[in-house]
Structure 1
């Protein structure tokens, strides 16, 4: 694991080469290939040490991080081409990748907390430095205070675990009597992750951060940073099984009802980016519900949907940005009739929208079926919420596709525009893994 970390540090000198962004871009994919070649049985911890290690959950999410960070650079040509501090921008992407790599491979709970919080800093700078509107300062404050305030109890809980167990080595941590009797401890340990997912009721930072962030910020937020919450829950549930059985019904209820309400909010959106951002809240609500059931189907489905949503949502943000660069607006009133204006992009809108509503043969379908299984097995009453959530998930995705692609063009625009080959490659690299990974679906079920 350390060899890949040193490889990431080795990319830093490339930042100082003028117009050398493509070297950084290629380096991410090269390091991703090296990481895949490390080998080891996917259902065991391997490459393990006291500091770093990897199992199937870490493996999938680290690969997703490398993939999305590479695509972020490909999508951000406006920053790199027009010299909006390109070296600083690339440094922020690299710093974010370092933080994510260390978070997903950390074997010590305190180091995990440290890197979990560290990933906030480059994200904040991406929003404040390369965002579009003056409201980005407010969005940055939302992101900062929601995350930090929720994380302080987690830090106290980490110190308490150290005092009671004498170790913070994650694979060795077990639930004990002191933890099993403290409901305050349970809340302190999981609340930071619920905000990061984000759970409905503490989700307000996410739409504002997405709307104000540049395309690269939106991609990494939707693609990887939301998955930190699910990953953290998977790591600490080893400590909280007894209390989880008692209290998890609260979070399942909130996530299902919240997912339905957010789906209704999506149907009222006129901003393309806000619609895709709210759809992330609905999907991650389903992931949270599956995780909280604490059963085999739920954990496997949550992991699968986290990977699938990371690719699909990131691709939709890229499409939104492509339209924004041509028309100068993200409003659905102006972005209509795109089938006439950019006919070559309509296929990609269709493919990624169908992935967003979990149509076959995408990985989203596998994840959602597993989560439906886990929640219905947990309680028959969840079928009502799941039915509404699944139906309206398809409804707002169709609303997004039909309103943006059909209708007459706004303000008498009669010309047509094609995409650049870079944009087609960018969308292709989002869509292909999403549809090919389902052929190797058993890998998500091996780790347990």
Structure 2
């Protein structure tokens, strides 16, 4: 792991070179390939050092982090053209990647908590520094205080863990703790991060005000930190989980259904995709809370699939916004007449968002539905409604933006740049190729 960290550290001088964006891009992709080849499929943990290491979960999460960060750079060409503090932007991006790699590779609960919180800072800098409207300050504060409120009780629970286990390594946290207060203190920060219905209000605000790179990292990685934390710590809360998890499952499924209805009322493309993230992650949370193996694997698969799919939809929203200067569905109509080749990508990513085959989302949803129905038969009604309305808002997004009467405003008749098609290709292809190798994700 130290080799990967040194690699990221030595990328810092690259941020200060002028007109070397493609060299930066190449170095990010090279890091992805090197890390992918670095993993041992035989051992449980590989790349071990003093407090860092990779098992299957953290390995795929780090791969996803590197991939999304490299695509963030590819999506932010406009900042480079306008020379809008682009060198500082590259530095923030690198700091973001470093904090995420350290979060996912830490084998110690306190180190995990530390970098979990550190990753908030570069996200906040992206929203405040490169956001679109003055409301970005309010959105940043929402995100900051929601996370802060949830994370302080967790610090107290970490002290208790050390008192009880005399160690904070994940490997030694192997005894069940039967305390509702401790469970609430530890879980609340993850529930805010996922985000669960009722504590989700920061997410649509942050997405709408964030630049495209901020939205990509929020949807692609930040929401997964909560799920990753639950996957790591759920073994400690097996006993108390059996008593109280049914409440969280019900809230998640009900929230997924309500948010699906909210999506159908959105007029802002970015806002619609942001709310759809809440709906999908509600399903993930429900799967984790059933505490069976189907739920565990299904949540893991869905987190990776959603990271790629949602990030791609934000890229599409940005491509349209850069040309039209608006994200309103009332103005973004009839795009199939102006950019027919881009409409194909709209269709492919919207269909992946509604879990159509052969997307990786389908595998995740099948596993999560299996998990939830086996946990309680009554969940089938909420799952039916969530799945149906999930398909409904994906079709609504596609049909409203691509069909309809053309808006007669000024519009660039460019059919898109190669960079944009490459960006969408690199979102969609892994999302659908992973389905072929789905046996990797059922250990």
TM over 0.5: yes
Instruction: State the Cα distance separating 1:38 from its structure 2 match.
Output: 1.1
Residue of structure 2 in register with 1:268 after alignment: 265
State which drifts further: 148-157 or 45-54. Answer: 45-54
Q: Distance in 2 between matches of 1:61 and 1:42?
A: 18
Residue of structure 2 in register with 1:174 after alignment: 174
- Asked if structure 1 preserves the Cα contact closer than 8 Å seen for 2:323 and 2:411, the reply is no
Trace 1:158-169 onto structure 2 (pairs within 5 A): 158-169=158-169
2:27 matches 1:27:
yes
Provide the TM-score with structure 1 as the length reference.
0.97
- Asked if structure 2 preserves the Cα contact closer than 8 Å seen for 1:21 and 1:90, the reply is no
Q: Evaluate the alpha carbon distance shift between residue 260 and residue 16 of structure 1 in structure 2; reply closer, same or farther with a 3 A threshold.
A: same
Spell out, residue by residue over 1:101-125, the C-alpha distance to the aligned partner (whole angstroms, 9 max, x if none): 0000001100000000000000000
Out of 215, 218, 224, the residue aligned to residue 221 of structure 1 is: 218
Q: Distance in 1 between matches of 2:355 and 2:221?
A: 19
Residue of structure 2 in register with 1:393 after alignment: 390
Residue of structure 1 in register with 2:81 after alignment: 81
- Asked if structure 2 preserves the Cα contact closer than 8 Å seen for 1:348 and 1:427, the reply is yes
Residue of structure 1 in register with 2:235 after alignment: 238
Instruction: State the Cα distance separating 1:175 from its structure 2 match.
Output: 2.3
Spell out, residue by residue over 1:270-328, the C-alpha distance to the aligned partner (whole angstroms, 9 max, x if none): 00000000000000000000000000100000000100000000000000000001100
Residue of structure 2 in register with 1:358 after alignment: 355
Aligned residues between the structures: 443
Instruction: State the Cα distance separating 1:266 from its structure 2 match.
Output: 0.2
| Unaligned runs of at least 5 residues, structure 2 | none
Spell out, residue by residue over 1:316-358, the C-alpha distance to the aligned partner (whole angstroms, 9 max, x if none): 0000000001100000000010011211110000000000000
- Asked if structure 2 preserves the Cα contact closer than 8 Å seen for 1:43 and 1:56, the reply is no
Out of 207, 226, 250, the residue aligned to residue 253 of structure 1 is: 250
2:334 matches 1:337:
yes
Q: Evaluate the alpha carbon distance shift between residue 374 and residue 325 of structure 1 in structure 2; reply closer, same or farther with a 3 A threshold.
A: same
- Asked if structure 1 preserves the Cα contact closer than 8 Å seen for 2:269 and 2:328, the reply is yes
Residue of structure 2 in register with 1:381 after alignment: 378
- Asked if structure 1 preserves the Cα contact closer than 8 Å seen for 2:324 and 2:410, the reply is no
Out of 427, 433, 438, the residue aligned to residue 435 of structure 2 is: 438
Residue of structure 1 in register with 2:124 after alignment: 124
Residue of structure 1 in register with 2:52 after alignment: 52
For residue 240 of structure 1, give the secondary structure of its aligned residue in structure 2.
Answer: helix
For residue 307 of structure 1, give the secondary structure of its aligned residue in structure 2.
Answer: helix
Residue of structure 1 in register with 2:313 after alignment: 316
Provide the TM-score with structure 2 as the length reference.
0.98
Q: Evaluate the alpha carbon distance shift between residue 86 and residue 413 of structure 1 in structure 2; reply closer, same or farther with a 3 A threshold.
A: closer
2:208 matches 1:211:
yes
- Asked if structure 2 preserves the Cα contact closer than 8 Å seen for 1:50 and 1:169, the reply is no
Residue of structure 1 in register with 2:198 after alignment: 201
Q: Evaluate the alpha carbon distance shift between residue 401 and residue 47 of structure 1 in structure 2; reply closer, same or farther with a 3 A threshold.
A: same
2:430 matches 1:429:
no
Q: Evaluate the alpha carbon distance shift between residue 219 and residue 43 of structure 1 in structure 2; reply closer, same or farther with a 3 A threshold.
A: farther
For residue 235 of structure 2, give the secondary structure of its aligned residue in structure 1.
Answer: coil
Instruction: State the Cα distance separating 1:20 from its structure 2 match.
Output: 1.8
For residue 435 of structure 2, give the secondary structure of its aligned residue in structure 1.
Answer: helix
Q: Distance in 2 between matches of 1:185 and 1:227?
A: 22
Q: Distance in 1 between matches of 2:42 and 2:305?
A: 19
Residue of structure 1 in register with 2:99 after alignment: 99
Instruction: State the Cα distance separating 1:413 from its structure 2 match.
Output: 5.9
Spell out, residue by residue over 1:241-269, the C-alpha distance to the aligned partner (whole angstroms, 9 max, x if none): 11111111011000000000000000000
Q: Evaluate the alpha carbon distance shift between residue 414 and residue 223 of structure 1 in structure 2; reply closer, same or farther with a 3 A threshold.
A: closer
- Asked if structure 1 preserves the Cα contact closer than 8 Å seen for 2:165 and 2:172, the reply is no
Q: Distance in 2 between matches of 1:325 and 1:435?
A: 27
* CA-atom RMSD in angstroms: 1.1
